[in-house]
Structure 1
Amino acid sequence: MLWISLADRIGSGLWASVSVLYFTYVAGLSVAQIGTVAAVAGAVGIAGPPLGGIVADRLPLTRVLIALQLLRAFASFALLTTDDYALLLVFSAVGGFGDRAANVLTKLYATRVSGPDRVRYQALNRTVANAGWALGGLVAAAALTLGTTAAYQWLLAGDALSFVLVALATARCGEPPSAARTVATSKTSAPAARPAGPWRDRTYLAYVATETVLFLDDAVFKVGLPLCIAHSDRAPHGLAPLLLVLNSVMVVALQVPLARFGATTAAARALLVPLSAFFALGGVAMALSATGGTVAVTLSLTAAAITFTVAEMLHATVSWELSVALAPDTAQGAYLGVHGLAQAAQRSVGPLAVTAAIAAGPLGWTFFGATIAVTCVFQHHLVRDRLTRPALSVPPVTVSEH
């Protein structure tokens, strides 16, 4: 599955780097139309995780993943066939749905396969995914030097082909065990009480709400840092891509070593305390970047990037473990699908929160970091009473990959 993640992210890196340029120069859309396409794709994508999770608890997971990858491939290929705005809107929405659903179900697959070692597996997966994303971006950058319509089209075609490759590779993977399907198909055991489901689980819904706040580090890198640099007369504009590279390099180098600090459910929960400190420090560093000369601003922004990257890696470890540990074994798909809403919601809320922090100045960034830090502490208290049972009852299996 790690090779599958690599191929997936290489393809995504090809398209993410040029999507706006493609819609501008090849499809001929206006800025408002491009914004609407992105907004609609994001909104439709919100439905992907919960719906995908429910289906995955009832059908073989590999088959659902294959279907979603083929849906993503269809959406990408379809974009190549038209420059009609309405059709581009529809195909982008279909792709957004498939992307968000496939993302959470890939996590579910890893959970079922890796068992108690899921934290380390997730660390390896994030390392591979970041490497694939960077590689795809480098290929896209090289292709863009041509500046031709064909170059844009080949990059989009490469993205679509990567999903076909991923679907074929997934078809050769074994089906992981599922407690939900075992209970549903068992004919010899006594009827088991079905869990109420995540939508009636107030603690889990509260946990997902706090996760939406903790995922705001993503908006810092995608919106906050670039905007601060672009609107500052003391920060070199070339610093923005360098900080994104720094983020990727740190994740590739440090995600696996840091994962050992959250190898158990109790350890993952304990990480919320230092995580709160890193979020607070990141907010302070961003606040300091509003004052001083070029050197001071550059150092402050670099410190903020480093601090938020550490927070991102720690939160990835915590989130991976707690989202599974808080879910009943017989409804992991449904629960992880609801957890996927946190990232989807953050994509809408995050840019607004970050731009508000920029507008408010140093005090705004300080408040931004402090709010996430307090949320960490609240989540630490919220999950305490739910983490007394074993984290996972489904035994790990070995899945052949080719």
Structure 2
Amino acid sequence: MTSAAVKASPPAAPRRGLHPDPVVRRLSWMVLVNTFGTGLFMTVSVLYFTRVAGLAVGQVGLGLTAAGLCGVAASVPAGRAADRWGSRRVLFVLWVAQAAGMAAYTLVHSFTVFLVVVCAETALDRAASAVRNALYADALPKATRVPGRAYLRAVTNVGVGAGATLAALALQADSRAAYIAVILTNAASFAAVAAMLPRIPLAGRDQEAGAEAEAGSKTARRNALVDVPYLAVTALNALLTVQFAVLNVGIPLWVVRETDAPRAVVAAAMILNTVLVVAFQVRATRATRDLHSAARACRTSGLLLAGSCAVIAAGHGLPAAAAAVVLLAAVALETAGEVLSQAGGWLLSYDLADPAATGAYQGVFNAGASAGLMVGPAVVTATAIAHGPAGWAVPAALFAVGGAAMVPAVRWAERRR
């Protein structure tokens, strides 16, 4: 179906709670299936590798670190491939390959096999992430691109949460058969979303360009890696991406090691974050109407994230109930910063990019975010967890400085566009 056909047909009235744009609705079903499988697998993966595959915890950690490096390296060439052959076509190939790679986890029986599979699968995952972002540019007009991504991120949280909830059954069974069923279900989810791709119309830019368009954009793609102002914005966004390590690594370790709060606070923190993202991610895009407002949103995000670090540190030494309240307040602050930084980062990543090379630029931006995700746990554990309340000053400073520097960096990038 062509994009013109979609525009010509009057959209059916959406059901309550569904997005009014038919293209966003199609994308949301695709995202829901994909993230449901992700939520299943991420919940049981470590236990599968250690209890079933027989790997040591240190081996799993080493393998995941190596895989993270592979993921960073895969983003840029994947984005360039999307520009050359089309985001929909490249994403189809990547998702089919991911389905095979995920199924290969069932064959892991040694560290060598694990290392090969996890590196390949992570590289495919980060490559698919970059190309998926380019697909959003191809499928959604500029005016609705960031609000559409915000809606899809809310759907992502719903899908991951639903998958994690169902994965509790596999954790309860704690058997090889249960874990294998989860892995194969996730593999099937990649095959399913690949089958959905042909139904996504392309309206944002011409993805069926031939040799002439290919020749015209070749220089722009080559310059994505040397666009210094864009690289600066990418690096600052990577600093803000360290926030996810605060939620996923910092708070759990802080609760167990440095506070008297009940361990159930860890689960409560994850649930609170998910609910708040679903409720407020779309609304956060109202603060990012253009480049300047997006930069200011990132600056505000940095201050909120820094404040959340200070509040987390304040939970040290408090009675259990007080510590729990303080930590949940910190999660609320962190989530406010999260939704603002995500909304601002999306707009900056698209609007500062060369329109002729969206895939290449998304690959660069995605590589920066992947690097932030990779180093985040090490930053948080080496500072906040290793040095107590005073250690939280380091990630707080990173967030505050990174957010504040985004405003002049965006001005620089805008002048150089």
Match in the other structure for 1:10: 36
1:386 and 2:402 are equivalent in the alignment: no
Tell me the alpha carbon deviations over residues 78-124 of structure 1, each in whole angstroms, 9 at most, x when there is no partner.
Answer: 11134233222211111101111111211111122222211100110
Distance in 1, matches of 2:282 and 2:216, equals 41
Distance in 1, matches of 2:124 and 2:191, equals 13
Tell me the alpha carbon deviations over residues 351-376 of structure 1, each in whole angstroms, 9 at most, x when there is no partner.
Answer: 12111122222222134213211211
Distance in 1, matches of 2:295 and 2:109, equals 49
Deviates more, 1:375-384 or 1:256-265: 256-265
The amino acid of 1:120's aligned partner reads: P
The amino acid of 1:154's aligned partner reads: A
SS of residue paired to 1:231: helix
Match in the other structure for 1:218: 244
Aligned-residue RMSD, C-alpha = 2.1
Identify the match of residue 252 of structure 1 among 278, 281, 299. Answer: 278
Match in the other structure for 1:360: 387
Distance in 1, matches of 2:304 and 2:360, equals 31
Distance in 1, matches of 2:233 and 2:268, equals 34
Distance in 2, matches of 1:205 and 1:233, equals 39
Match in the other structure for 1:31: 57
1:174 and 2:198 are equivalent in the alignment: no
The question of whether the paired residues in 2 share the 8 Å contact of 1:49 and 1:104 is answered with: yes
1:119 and 2:146 are equivalent in the alignment: yes
Match in the other structure for 2:187: 160
Structure 1 residues 64, 216: CA separation in 2 closer, same or farther (over 3 Å shift)? same
1:34-73 correspondence runs (5 A): 34-73=60-99
The question of whether the paired residues in 1 share the 8 Å contact of 2:71 and 2:122 is answered with: yes
Identify the match of residue 161 of structure 2 among 128, 134, 137. Answer: 134
Structure 1 residue 273, shift from structure 2 partner: 3.4
Q: Which runs of 5+ in 1 are unaligned?
A: 391-402
Distance in 2, matches of 1:287 and 1:88, equals 37
Structure 1 residue 30, shift from structure 2 partner: 1.4
TM-score, length-scaled by structure 1: 0.91
Distance in 2, matches of 1:284 and 1:58, equals 46
The question of whether the paired residues in 2 share the 8 Å contact of 1:61 and 1:175 is answered with: no
Distance in 1, matches of 2:217 and 2:182, equals 50
Distance in 2, matches of 1:180 and 1:170, equals 14
SS of residue paired to 2:138: helix
Identify the match of residue 149 of structure 1 among 158, 166, 176. Answer: 176
Match in the other structure for 1:194: 219
Tell me the alpha carbon deviations over residues 317-353 of structure 1, each in whole angstroms, 9 at most, x when there is no partner.
Answer: 0000001111111111111101111221112321121
Distance in 1, matches of 2:172 and 2:59, equals 26
The amino acid of 2:392's aligned partner reads: W
Distance in 1, matches of 2:109 and 2:64, equals 16
Match in the other structure for 2:311: 285
The question of whether the paired residues in 1 share the 8 Å contact of 2:259 and 2:317 is answered with: no
Distance in 1, matches of 2:66 and 2:244, equals 20
The question of whether the paired residues in 2 share the 8 Å contact of 1:282 and 1:307 is answered with: yes
Distance in 2, matches of 1:224 and 1:329, equals 38
Structure 1 residue 176, shift from structure 2 partner: 4.6
The question of whether the paired residues in 1 share the 8 Å contact of 2:260 and 2:317 is answered with: no
Structure 1 residues 89, 193: CA separation in 2 closer, same or farther (over 3 Å shift)? closer
Match in the other structure for 2:375: 349
1:231 and 2:260 are equivalent in the alignment: no
Structure 1 residue 385, shift from structure 2 partner: 3.7
Structure 1 residue 149, shift from structure 2 partner: 1.3
Q: Which runs of 5+ in 2 are unaligned?
A: 1-26
Distance in 2, matches of 1:268 and 1:177, equals 21
SS of residue paired to 1:387: helix
1:94 and 2:120 are equivalent in the alignment: yes
The question of whether the paired residues in 1 share the 8 Å contact of 2:87 and 2:359 is answered with: no
Distance in 2, matches of 1:193 and 1:385, equals 24
Distance in 2, matches of 1:231 and 1:67, equals 44
The amino acid of 1:346's aligned partner reads: G
Tell me the alpha carbon deviations over residues 18-72 of structure 1, each in whole angstroms, 9 at most, x when there is no partner.
Answer: 0011111211111122122212221211122111101011002111001000111
Match in the other structure for 2:293: 267
SS of residue paired to 1:383: helix
Structure 1 residues 367, 81: CA separation in 2 closer, same or farther (over 3 Å shift)? closer
Structure 1 residue 309, shift from structure 2 partner: 0.7
Distance in 2, matches of 1:76 and 1:117, equals 33
The amino acid of 2:287's aligned partner reads: F
Match in the other structure for 2:4: none
* Identity, % of aligned positions: 32
Identify the match of residue 299 of structure 1 among 308, 325, 342. Answer: 325
The question of whether the paired residues in 1 share the 8 Å contact of 2:40 and 2:167 is answered with: yes
Tell me the alpha carbon deviations over residues 276-306 of structure 1, each in whole angstroms, 9 at most, x when there is no partner.
Answer: 3212211211221123222332122111111
Structure 1 residue 179, shift from structure 2 partner: 5.8
